[in-house]
A and B are shown apart, each in its own frame.
Chain A
Amino acid sequence: MRSNQVAVVGAAETTELGVIPNASQLQLHADAALNAIADAGLKLSDIDGFATAVETPQQVCHYLGIKPTWVDGTSVGGCSFMLHVRHAAAAIEAGLCKTVLITHAESGKSMIGKAPRSIPADSLQGQFEAPFGVYGPPSMFPIPVLRFMKTYGITHEQLASVAVVQREWAAKNPRAMMKDPITVADVLNSRMIAYPFRLLQCCLVTDGGGALILTSADRAKDFPRRPVYIMGTGESVETPMVSQMETFNSSRAFKTAGPLAFKEAGIAHKDVDHLMIYDAFAHLPLFGLGDLGFMPHEETGKFIADGNTRPGGKLPLNTNGGGLSYMHSGMYGMYALQESVRQMRGIAPAQVANAKISVCHGVGGMFAASGTIVFTNER
């Protein structure tokens, strides 16, 4: 796909984030969509392409009154929205539609109008993982981390520092759920969830949503907001079973999606001003920094512990506070995209000065899927 032919012209989160006891999941989709449409200065009738995950496109289109000629229901977990951006950019370039709305919402905390996740007993996960006591993401996502730590010499303190640094970013963000400063000792003394991970190394559980509107770069200049161009994209899937990953020393899906996006954008790592790596748990930024090629995996723990990703550091990472401190409704990818767009517009609460290129890297499931988007504000 060619770089910078499609742009984000509308972006918004739900009016509220956190605990929203007065709205269903479907209404949160609508709230985010209406906010994004207002942000772009559009009408609902201008939308001719639509994508969402978990909820079906027909469900959300019906509720909003949208009549699309292009839909994408790709649902591969929390990075589905990165894949939607990639697919939408291709569809707009191919002339299948002109203006695409992508929505995410999740009543992750209040569980209103949200189907519980279930694993059928005759699925592969139901047969070969569930009987051994996995029960929700905290018992599954960290399974590779002890092997990763042993292979690369990563310490518990370094993994704790991920949460500490992200809390520093969150402190600058009025919409972040958790803003009080924490120390490595606080993290290592917080309640044990699934060894080696403690409470402060696990994502929040919240309600919320977000929406994006994409159109061609040629049209984008006529919109009220500064266009944010899609410079490069990548995607992949590996396995729904964490136990069946090729290796626990890296993620094959990350190593496929990330380099694809960098190649398409034609950028080197030193060109990246701002970085988002989906952090459902504290080890994901380490996997991401290594698998995206920023540095050898061995150096990732020290790199974060030494403060290189904190405010004022040379590689600002997860500047909204991340899934660990900002919010995490269950499929966090949309919020990572929103922060990249804010940074490229120059309006983020913790704005990185003069940032021109933002890389936004997502995970779906337990390393099951991945999507990477490179954004730029210069065409």
Chain B
Amino acid sequence: MAEPQRARPKPTPETQHFWDGTKAGELRLQRCDACAHVYFPPRPFCPSCASRKVSIFKASGKGFLYSYVINHRPAAPGFTPPYAIAVVELEEGPRMMSNIIDCPQTPEALELDMKLEVAFEALDDKVTLPVFRPAKG
């Protein structure tokens, strides 16, 4: 029997640009042309001022560890516990859920506020997830 698979995102018309971005090695956010608010998750209008004039841009990929849990049980399909489920605050302001790679999944190694940078993990030829690793230097 095949191993149970990690949950895969299925893009909608409003989020397609984000998932196209991760595949191309870019973390894409949106900025309101009217009020300059930067937001996530994607939508074709500004959740702050309701303007429909918004632009997609490539984010720096830099951020810091805002909070996390280290999940032991039950583990999600496709994950080997213990693994950290993190929320990263991006340099541009929005926060997003992700995983932390190249780092022991321990409270000692995962320090709140540690600097992170984005990396991309291809699950298959369709889906690439944004994950984060401790920033170099």
Partner of A243 from the list B12, B19, B87 (CB cut-off 8 Å) is B87
Q: How far does the Cβ of B30 sit from chain A's closest Cβ, in whole Å?
A: 14
Contacts of B69 in A (CB 8 A): 139, 142-143, 145-146, 194-197
- Do A126 and B98 have beta carbons less than 8 Å apart? no
Please name all residues of chain B whose beta carbon is closer than 8 Å to the beta carbon of A146 when the two chains form the complex. Answer: 67-69, 112
Find chain B residues with CB under 8 A from A143 CB: 67-69, 85, 87
As a 0/1 sequence over residues 108 to 138 of chain A, the CB contacts with chain B under 8 angstroms (1 = contact) are: 0000000000011110101111111111101
Q: How far is the CB of A35 from chain B (nearest CB, A)?
A: 34
Residue A133 contacts which of B9, B11, B15, B79 (CB distance < 8 angstroms)?
Answer: B79
A43 within 8 A of B: no
- CA of A121 to CA of B41, assembled, Å: 15
Q: Which residue of A lies closest to B7 (CB)?
A: A130
Q: Chain A: which residue is nearest B107 at the CB level?
A: A195
Q: Is A229 an interface residue (CB 8 A)?
A: no
- Contact status A133-B67, CB under 8 Å: no
Docked complex Cα distance between A324 and B6 (Å): 30
The residues in A between 276 and 316 inclusive whose CB is less than 8 angstroms from any CB of B are: none
* Assembled-state Cα–Cα distance A114/B65 (Å): 37
**Does the CB pair B85–A132 fall under 8 Å?**
yes
Collect the chain A residues with CB atoms within 8 Å of residue B7's CB: 119, 121, 126, 130-131
**Contact of A193 with B72 in the complex, beta carbons under 8 Å:** yes
Contact of A248 with B by CB under 8 A: yes
Q: Within B62-118, which residues are at the interface with A (CB < 8 Å)?
A: 66-79, 82-83, 85-87, 95-99, 107, 112
Measured CB to CB, the closest approach of chain B to A187, in angstroms, equals 16
Given A243-B95, A243-B97, CB of A131 within 8 Å of CB of B9: yes
Find chain B residues with CB under 8 A from A132 CB. Answer: 85-86, 97-99, 129
**Chain A residues in 8 Å Cβ range of B136:** none
| Cα–Cα distance between A197 and B69 once the two chains are bound (Å) | 8
B8 at the binding interface (Cβ < 8 Å): yes
Asked if A267 is an interface residue, CB under 8 A from chain B, the answer is no
Known contacts A134-B85, A243-B96, A126 near B76 by CB under 8 Å: no
Interface residue? A244 (CB, 8 A): yes
Given A132-B99, A147-B67, A192-B72: A127 touches B85 (CB 8 Å cut-off): no
The distance in angstroms between the C-alpha atoms of A146 and B113, with both chains bound, is 11
Q: How far is the CB of B19 from chain A (nearest CB, A)?
A: 8
A144 interface hit (Cβ, 8 Å): yes
How distant is the Cα of A189 from the Cα of B11 in the complex, in angstroms?
Answer: 42
A131 touches B129 (CB 8 A): yes
Report B37 CB to chain A, min CB distance, Å.
14
Collect the chain A residues with CB atoms within 8 Å of residue B19's CB: 127
Measured CB to CB, the nearest residue on chain B to A147 is: B67
Tell me whether B73 and A193 are in contact (CB under 8 A).
yes
A150 contacts the other chain (Cβ, under 8 Å)? yes
CB within 8 Å for A150 and B97 given contacts A122-B12, A126-B7, A194-B69? no
Query: How many angstroms from the CA of A120 to the CA of B9 in the assembled complex?
Result: 9
CA distance A143 to B84 in the complex (A): 10
A contact residues vs B (CB 8 Å cutoff): 119-122, 124, 126-136, 138-140, 142-147, 150, 191-197, 241-244, 248
Q: List 12 A-B contacts (CB under 8 A).
A: A121-B8, A127-B12, A127-B19, A128-B41, A131-B6, A131-B129, A139-B85, A147-B112, A193-B72, A195-B82, A241-B97, A243-B97
Top 10 A-B pairs ranked by shortest CB distance? A135-B76, A127-B9, A195-B70, A147-B67, A121-B10, A243-B97, A130-B7, A122-B10, A194-B69, A133-B76
